[in-house]
Amino acid sequence: MLSKSQARAFFLGGTFLFSAVFVFLTVDTLRQTDSRTNAQNITEDVLKGKEIWEKNNCMGCHTLLGEGAYYAPDLTKVVERRGATWIDVFLDDPQAMFPGERKMVKYNFTKEEKGQVIAFLDWVGKIDANGWPPKPNIPIDSIATSPAPQVKTNAVAVSQPEKFSQLCVACHTVGGKGGNVGPALDHVGSKFDSDYLNRWLSDPQAIKPGTNMPKLPLTDPERKDIVTYLSALK
């Protein structure tokens, strides 16, 4: 049977050995980190963004690289998923973009600060994280459900404006693709004329007080493009 001094030797020896291996692996990890994380792309903006991220304890709700709290979505690939434009609008008033949903603090960032946060998140999204997060691997059609409703989309002559795919699809679907906060827009063109759509987009509250639809920052040509596109959805 083990004696006390042997037990002590096991403890001290094991601790020393594995600490040494750990330190060695740490040195090697640090050596490789610059290339794995594209450290050359850590610009002034990225650093400022990281500061803002930490100063406001964003990790207290979100996760980044899967680390943090689990109250709000993981933001590792958010720039790829949502795009910079959407994040920029979202940060102005998070609750307007997800009405009636889980709340996020409104931080009143300046245009510059928002850019820095996005730069930071963009850099994080490009870290080589060994393939994390993984892509969903259970195909929806392998699950026995009633067949998905076939969405009839008419061939639209007008192509989807860039702003529409950056902002509107976060809440609305077209052809089965998009968010489910607002109604589907597949046939919106047959319900409303372009004048109404234009007024609606300019100021949703003025037409329907209390609506969940936020007033989006669109320039006149952008709004015109979207109205043309929506009118064609019949």
Partner 1 sequence: MRFQSQKVAYWFFATCMLLLSLQIVYGFIMGFARIGLDGLHDYIPFNTARATHTNLLVVWLLTGFMGAAYYIIPEESDRELYSVKLAYIQLISWVVVGVIAIIGFHFNWWEGRKFLEIPRPLDYLVVVNVLTFLFNIAMTIWEAKKRSTTQLVLFFGLLCAALLYLPGMIYFDNQTIDSYFRWWVVHLWVEGVWELIMGGILSFLLIKLTGVDREVIEKWLYVVVGLTFLSGILGTGHHYYWIGTPKYWLMVGGIFSALEPLAFLGMAIWALNMYRKKGKNHPNKIALYWTLGSAMMSFIGAGFLGFAHTWPAVNQWTHGTLITAMHGHLAFWGAYAMLVLAVISYAMPNLTGRKLFTGMSGYLAFWASNIGMLGMTGALAVAGITQVYLERKLGMDFLVVQKEIIFHFIGMLLAATLFTVGITYFIVDFIRHGLPSNEALGKNVGDLD
DSSP class of 137: -
Among 93, 99, 132, 154, binds partner 1 (CB under 8 A): 132
**Residue 169 touching partner 1 (CB under 8 A):** no
Nearer to partner 1, 10 or 196 (CB): 10
**Residue 27 touching partner 1 (CB under 8 A):** no
Q: In sequence order, which residues have a C-beta less than 8 Å from that of residue 198 and are 6 or more positions away?
A: 223, 224, 227
Cα separation values, 98 from 69, 79, 114, 182, 209, Å? 20, 18, 19, 9, 17
**Residue 74 touching partner 1 (CB under 8 A):** yes
CA distance 200 to 67: 40
**Residue 58 touching partner 1 (CB under 8 A):** yes
Among 80, 99, 105, 154, binds partner 1 (CB under 8 A): 105
CA distance 109 to 50: 14
Nearer to partner 1, 106 or 208 (CB): 106
**Residue 103 touching partner 1 (CB under 8 A):** yes
CA distance 17 to 9: 12
**Residue 83 touching partner 1 (CB under 8 A):** no
Residue type, 195: D
Among 66, 176, 183, 217, binds partner 1 (CB under 8 A): 66
CA distance 117 to 105: 15
CA distance 5 to 12: 10
Nearer to partner 1, 36 or 191 (CB): 36
Give φ, ψ of 46 to 5 degrees: -60, -45
Enter the tokens of residue 98. Answer: 């997800």
**Residue 158 touching partner 1 (CB under 8 A):** no
**Residue 41 touching partner 1 (CB under 8 A):** no
Among 57, 159, 190, 205, binds partner 1 (CB under 8 A): 57
DSSP class of 134: P
**Residue 19 touching partner 1 (CB under 8 A):** yes
**Residue 3 touching partner 1 (CB under 8 A):** yes
CA distance 181 to 184: 9
**Residue 111 touching partner 1 (CB under 8 A):** no
Size of the site for partner 1 (CB under 8 A): 70
Q: Answer whether 85's CB lies under 8 Å from 166's CB.
A: yes
Nearer to partner 1, 11 or 196 (CB): 11
Instruction: List contacts with partner 1 (CB under 8 A).
Output: 2-4, 7-8, 10-11, 14-15, 18-19, 21-22, 25-26, 28-30, 32-34, 36-37, 39, 42, 47, 50, 53-61, 63-74, 98, 101-103, 105, 124, 127-138, 140, 143, 179-180
